[in-house]
Structure 1
Amino acid sequence: MVGNEFFGNFDLASIAIWLFWLFFALLVYYLQTENMREGYPLEREDGKESASIGLFPTPKDKTFRLPHGRGDISVPSGQNPERTKLAIEATSRSAGSSYVPTGDPMIDGVGPASWAPRRDVTELDGHGHNKIQPMSALPDFAVSAGRDPRGKAVVAGDGEVIGRIIDMWIDVPEQMVRYLTVDLNPEGKGNTRLIPMNFCRIQSDRVTARAIYSGQFADVPGIKKPDQITLLEEEKIMAYFGGGTMYADSKRSEPVI
């Protein structure tokens, strides 16, 4: 037979299964190393390099060309370095021990208020336009359902009225409200902050933002330009309100029985 004469005692089924296992192992290695282009090399909570490097090595730099003239970015080269010198300290010297804030965690951005150093540029849609824009700059948008929060008083987590809603920020491609603009000055002098929509509750006569208290609204991270918000600014605003759910009041961090 042709098979016996050409291959002899060579087992085609055996080599086929071994080739499959080799391909599968290389596929796992490739996918895992590609997955390590963000968040690596590993660091400890205090920003120092971790002693545990893992099974797979950190991949070499790969450069991505960004659309809409945003330049190039190489990862994981560290050109967008992680945050260091965090205001936290370990509760003990043993590995895996918890860390506690050493200052104001909401200002320092640690714990539940942590934020990542995202690029300080706006998020763009598929056409190169800013994805999130204030509704006052979008004449084609209007509130078609639900309650319009504009003009309503904003009540903080301690029950105090801290201002009024004057605008909404729209995710244009998704047609969703992402932020509300609150004017903290009753005379309307432009001392504004953004409140993430998922931290608001719109009622018939008010907008409630329970995550933080009245005295903490002044420290909400601001935006550099009145008509756009960057990825880094979004990250800090969301982290501030998220941290408030635990740090706004010392009682929130106590055990609940």
Structure 2
Amino acid sequence: MVGTEFFGNFDLASAAIWLFWIFFAGLVYYLQTENMREGYPLQTDDGEVAPNQGPFPVPKDKTFHLRDGRGELTVPSGQRGDRADLALEQTSKAAGSPFVPTGDPMADGVGPASWAPREDHPELDAHGHAKIQPMSMLEEFTISAGTDPRGKPVVAGDGEVVGRVSDMWIDVPEQYVRYLTVDLNPEGSGKTALIPANFARIKSDRVAVRSIYGTHFASVPGIKSKGEITLLEEEKIMAYYGGGTMYADPKREEPKL
């Protein structure tokens, strides 16, 4: 019979294992090329295109339709470009040598204070509303446990009292405090700044912020809207406080033994 003659000389086990290896190789190729939709083509330390791009080619463009009518995003060719002209200089011509800041690293956003060019619009919840909003605009939210920081003085890393907490920003779906609003001049201009909750220590009589000093609060990156904060604004604020853990005081840059 035809079936008997064919399978009598055909190794089904060998065919199965070869089909598996072909499938596995294709899967590796697909996953690797999809992984290359961000950060490619590779660049050298000085910003030039790297000569060695690896064994896999950059994938063809793929267009994503963004939610809530926010247009389209095409990658990899349409991805947001890296920031150029950073205030950094390389300490040596040797490849891999570290870069050092040439100006004010916290203001320039380099080193530990670096930030990524995220999209300049608020993060939305499943219903299309801004996730993070000030508590003063959320009548349904109250303090049910813990210490209410509102009205408490804010003490910087150098011991200077810079103002008082006037509001909290809530991640509405998560019901979690993300930022504190500090009024830097309650009796004057009313200039405010946001403090990321993870950089604040709420005590019984004050809110302590160790990462930056009193003089730095005036330069904390601001926000455009009183009721929303964009992803880019969040990125810059977090980077500023994070950079302060090293750059707020020159002594912090020295090695610790």
Q: TM-score range by the shorter chain?
A: over 0.9
Question: Alignment partner of 1:68: what SS?
Answer: helix
- Give the aligned partner of residue 230 of structure 2: 230
* Shift of residue 188, structure 1, vs aligned partner: 5.3
1: CA distance, partners of 2:45 / 2:107 = 17
Q: Between 194-203 and 1-10, report the one with greater CA deviation.
A: 1-10
Which residue identity is paired with 1:40? Y
Q: Is the contact between residue 47 and residue 85 of structure 1 (CA under 8 Å) also seen in structure 2?
A: no
Is residue 2:61 matched to residue 1:41? no
Question: Alignment partner of 1:169: what SS?
Answer: strand
- Give the aligned partner of residue 207 of structure 1: 207
Question: Which runs of 5 or more residues in structure 2 are unaligned?
Answer: none
* Shift of residue 45, structure 1, vs aligned partner: 4.5
Q: Between 118-127 and 26-35, report the one with greater CA deviation.
A: 26-35
1: CA distance, partners of 2:43 / 2:150 = 44
Is residue 2:184 matched to residue 1:181? no
2: CA distance, partners of 1:98 / 1:78 = 30
* Shift of residue 48, structure 1, vs aligned partner: 3.5
Q: Is the contact between residue 150 and residue 164 of structure 1 (CA under 8 Å) also seen in structure 2?
A: yes
Q: In the TM superposition, what whole-angstrom CA distance separates every residue of 1:167-194 from its partner, at most 9, and x where no partner exists?
A: 0000000000000001111315320111
Q: Is the contact between residue 170 and residue 177 of structure 1 (CA under 8 Å) also seen in structure 2?
A: yes
Q: In the TM superposition, what whole-angstrom CA distance separates every residue of 1:24-81 from its partner, at most 9, and x where no partner exists?
A: 0110111111122122222345544333312222211111111111111111124422
Question: Alignment partner of 1:20: what SS?
Answer: helix
- Give the aligned partner of residue 168 of structure 1: 168
Q: Against the structure 1 CA distance between its residues 90 and 217, is the aligned structure 2 distance closer, same or farther, given a 3 Å change threshold? A: same
Q: Is the contact between residue 45 and residue 96 of structure 2 (CA under 8 Å) also seen in structure 1?
A: no
2: CA distance, partners of 1:109 / 1:52 = 29
User: Given the two structures, how large is their TM-score scaled by the length of structure 2?
Assistant: 0.95
Is residue 2:256 matched to residue 1:256? yes
2: CA distance, partners of 1:98 / 1:245 = 19
User: Given the two structures, how large is their TM-score scaled by the length of structure 1?
Assistant: 0.95
Q: Against the structure 1 CA distance between its residues 45 and 190, is the aligned structure 2 distance closer, same or farther, given a 3 Å change threshold? A: farther
Question: Alignment partner of 2:193: what SS?
Answer: strand
Q: In the TM superposition, what whole-angstrom CA distance separates every residue of 1:86-126 from its partner, at most 9, and x where no partner exists?
A: 11111111111111111111111111111000010110000
Question: Alignment partner of 2:69: what SS?
Answer: coil
1: CA distance, partners of 2:71 / 2:102 = 38
1: CA distance, partners of 2:154 / 2:242 = 18
Q: Is the contact between residue 46 and residue 85 of structure 1 (CA under 8 Å) also seen in structure 2?
A: no
Is residue 2:68 matched to residue 1:68? yes
1:1-257 maps to which residues of 2 (within 5 A)? 4-187=4-187, 189-257=189-257
Which residue identity is paired with 1:85? D
Q: Is the contact between residue 38 and residue 79 of structure 2 (CA under 8 Å) also seen in structure 1?
A: no
Q: In the TM superposition, what whole-angstrom CA distance separates every residue of 1:140-169 from its partner, at most 9, and x where no partner exists?
A: 001111000000000001010001100000
Equivalences, count:
257
Q: Between 182-191 and 102-111, report the one with greater CA deviation.
A: 182-191
Q: Between 235-244 and 36-45, report the one with greater CA deviation.
A: 36-45
Question: Alignment partner of 2:177: what SS?
Answer: strand
Which residue identity is paired with 1:242? G
Q: Between 164-173 and 28-37, report the one with greater CA deviation.
A: 28-37
